Structure formats: C-alpha cells, structure tokens
Homo-oligomer: A and B are copies of this chain.
Amino acid sequence: MPQSVFTAGEYERRIEQTKERMRERELDALVIADPANMNYLAGYDGWSFYVHQAVIVTQDRDEPVWVGRGQDANGARATTWLGEESIRAYSDDHVQSPYDLHPMDFFAEVLEDLGVDDARIGLEMDAYYFTAKSYLRLQQNLPEAEFEDTTLLVNWVRVKKSEQELDYMREAARISENAMAAGLDAIEEGVPESEAARAIYNALIDGTDEYGGDYPSIVPLMPSGDHTGTPHLTWTDRPFEQGDPVIIELSGCRHRYHSPLARTTYVGDPPQEMQDRMEIVVEGVNAALDVAEPGVTCERVERAWRDVIQKYDLEKEERIGYSMGLGYPPDWGEHTASLRPGDETVLEENMTFHMIPGLWFDDFGVELSETFRVTSDGAEVLADFPQELFST
C-alpha cells in the first residue's frame, strides 16, 4: 500500500463487511461510483470524479478493481492498496466523447472480463456522479446482467467508525476550531465577506503545528445580513454592516474526514431577541446530546430538541442532523441516518453525527452545531468551542 492512511487489515474488514451485505442481497458484483465509497474501499484519492470512474467489488476476488481514466491510473497506483492487475483504465477518447464512446462501454468489458456480465450487479442508482446515462449504457452493453439498486449499501458500512477514522475526525475538529476562531475574528463592519472567507480558508489549510489541512467537501458557508435565512449561500464581496447577523458553517478536513462546526455572530450589539433564540438553540442542542447513547433511536434524539423548542412555541420542519465523516464534494454527509421524526436507526457506539439545528426566521437565522461521536454511554462532542452567540 503506497500510503499508510489505514492498515491493510482495516481495508480487509471494510471489504468483508461489504461482501456480507452483498451476500444478504445475493449480489455477485457491486459498481461503486460514489468517490467517498471508492476511497473507503480502495483508498483512492484524487480530484478525478469529474470523469466516470468506479470501484468494482466481486464476491470471488479479494481486491476490488479500480476503473478510471488512463491519466488517473497513476493516481490509483499512488493512493490505493490494489495490485497492478486490479487497476484498469480507459483511453482518453472515452472522455466527453464526440465518437459515441462512453466510459461505461469500457466498464462493461471489465465486468465481462471479471465473469459477472450475466450476474446480479448492484449499482448506486442515486449516488453522485453515477448518471442516468451510465445506467442505460451498462444495461445496453450487458443485456444478460440483472441490476439492483444498491445506493447506500457501502454508506451503511461506513456508519460505525474505527479508532483510526475517529482520530482523523478529531484532528479535523482541531482544524475546525482554528478556522472558526479565524472567521469570527475577521468579521467586522466594513470588511467584505470574501475577506472572512479568506481567513477561514487560510486556517482550514494551515491546519495545526502537527499536520496541514485538506480541502473540505463543502466550502465555508457564510450567509449574512438578510441572507441568514438562506443556509447554502456562499460568500460575496459585500462588506459586513452594523446589525448583520452572520452564520458560519465550516469543517476542517484530515485525510478526507470531517468534523463540521457552525456558529453565529453579529456585527454590533446583538438584539435581545437574537440572544434569546440562541439560548433556545443551545438548550435544544444539549438536550439532544444528553439523550444520545447506544440503543436510542435517531428520532428520539430529534424529539429531545423538538421538546425544547416547542416549550418556546417554535417549530422547525428540517431534520436536525445526519451521519457523516468521510467525504468529497459536494457533501460530507453519508446520506444514511438522520436525526428526524421517523428515522428509527438505533445509535451504536462510534457512529458520528453532525447535529445542526438552526432556527431560521423570515428576517434572520441562528445556528449552532456540534459534531459528536456516540460513546459507550453517551456522546463525545469533537470540537471544543464556546456555545454562544458571538459579536464583533
């Protein structure tokens, strides 16, 4: 293995757990296109998910097979634990091709070569970067195959973290703390939003004295002023003005593992109403953290939050958190368990969640989030950052 991000044993365990889920569903092969799942199973790391690529797991091979673009095969050699016979690359005329060639034509050949062209093959039908065309093209090339939707199959294997994964998430949390401090420090009247974004990025990549930071799967989000009710706006050149609320949501990243953190600040002296709302959020977050432990369901955790805000006659439709960890753009979420009504997933030790229960009103929003790990009897909050409304 060229890089020692994880031990060989850890990759073996991941493959074994994946194969077990495949056996339960009587699958002979899996085509894994989600870049986070590719990394999880094979170690592959690189900004090449803008072309079609995947990792293929078959029941009868110990190693998965990486399939991607010719110029990325060296990247697979550099970052995966796979042997040369498990790295297969398509020629460049398949890329955004004017010749009626599609990368999935090559994938079909590889699946044939692996002896699974007439077998039961799982596809991540709702994953990023696995397009509708990819599906139709595979279907057309492999008329004897039987395709099953296995979206989230590997994501569910990822839910419980290993000690090494948790260490990387804790390292990411140190970066998140530094970046949040830098962002809060940069925000003041007259400073453009982009200047605060610059200060945050500086800290995100600077990392700590021991290690540098990686790019996060989501850029720092920084809705401000009228826009704190619009959580996914990115920064502009607008200068902060007296009376602006500003929400910062960011995450440090270490070996693609995240530990997101959100806080709210105010340019000037925050009005009492905003202070009051933040106190409710803090009370709600901690009430939810208090009930989190193995055996408790995700919906139960959300209900603890909802019980608090209902006391104050408030409502929030959105889910308040989600399982997360490893990720590539556009998301660090795993798309598995969510903290919301109806989600009966039972918490187990070493699951990790980002709890981000903002309250958004017509004219402003307040958010405060924590990333936490389920411990043997409670919850460990990964970042150590004051839970309060900040101001300039």
Query: Could you tell me if B205 and A194 are in contact, using CB atoms closer than 8 angstroms?
Result: yes
State which of B46, B123, B133, B201 has its C-beta within 8 Å of the C-beta of A202.
Answer: B201
Do B234 and A47 have beta carbons less than 8 Å apart?
A: yes
Interface pair B335/A47, CB less than 8 Å apart = no
Contact of A132 among B48, B98, B123, B231 (CB under 8 A): B123
Q: Within A210-253, which residues are at the interface with B (CB < 8 Å)? A: 211-215, 218-219, 221, 226-227, 229-237
A244 to chain B, nearest CB (A): 15
Q: Does A74 reach chain B (CB closer than 8 Å)?
A: yes
Chain B residues whose CB sits within 8 angstroms of the CB of A317 once the complex forms: 70, 91-92
Closest residue of chain B to A228 (Cβ to Cβ) is B74
Q: Which of A8-16, A261-269, A303-311, A326-334 contacts B (4 or more CB under 8 A)?
A: A326-334
30 A/B residue pairs, CB under 8 Å, sorted by A: A46-B230, A46-B233, A47-B219, A48-B232, A49-B330, A50-B333, A71-B231, A74-B229, A78-B226, A78-B227, A91-B317, A92-B318, A98-B338, A98-B342, A99-B342, A126-B131, A126-B134, A127-B131, A130-B131, A130-B132, A193-B212, A194-B207, A194-B212, A195-B206, A195-B212, A197-B212, A198-B212, A202-B202, A329-B329, A329-B330
Residues of the B chain whose Cβ atoms lie less than 8 Å from the Cβ of A215: 219, 234
Q: Is A86 an interface residue (CB 8 A)?
A: no
In the bound complex, what is the Cα–Cα distance between A129 and B123 (angstroms)? 16
CA distance A236 to B215 in the complex (A): 10
- What's the minimum C-beta distance from A228 to chain B, rounded to whole angstroms? 10
Complex CA gap A195/B132 in Å reads 40
Q: Contacts A131-B126, A202-B198, A212-B237 given; indicate if A50 touches B192 (C-beta within 8 A).
A: no
State whether the Cβ of A322 lies closer than 8 Å to any Cβ in chain B: yes
Q: A332-357: which have CB < 8 Å to B?
A: 333, 335, 338, 340, 342-344
Q: Which residues of B contact A377 (CB under 8 A)?
A: none
Which chain B residues border A234 with CB–CB below 8 Å? Answer: 45-47, 214-215
CB neighbours (8 Å) of A45 from chain B are 233-234
List chain B residues, Cβ under 8 A from A340: 92-93
Q: Is A151 an interface residue (CB 8 A)?
A: yes
CB distance from A65 to the nearest CB of B (A): 19
In this assembly, does A140 line the interface, its C-beta being within 8 Å of a C-beta of chain B?
A: no
Q: B-facing mask of A34-45, CB < 8 A → 1, else 0?
A: 000000000001
Residue on B with the closest CB to A255?
Answer: B236
Closest Cβ neighbor of A316 among chain B residues: B92
Q: Is the CB of B136 within 8 A of A131?
A: no
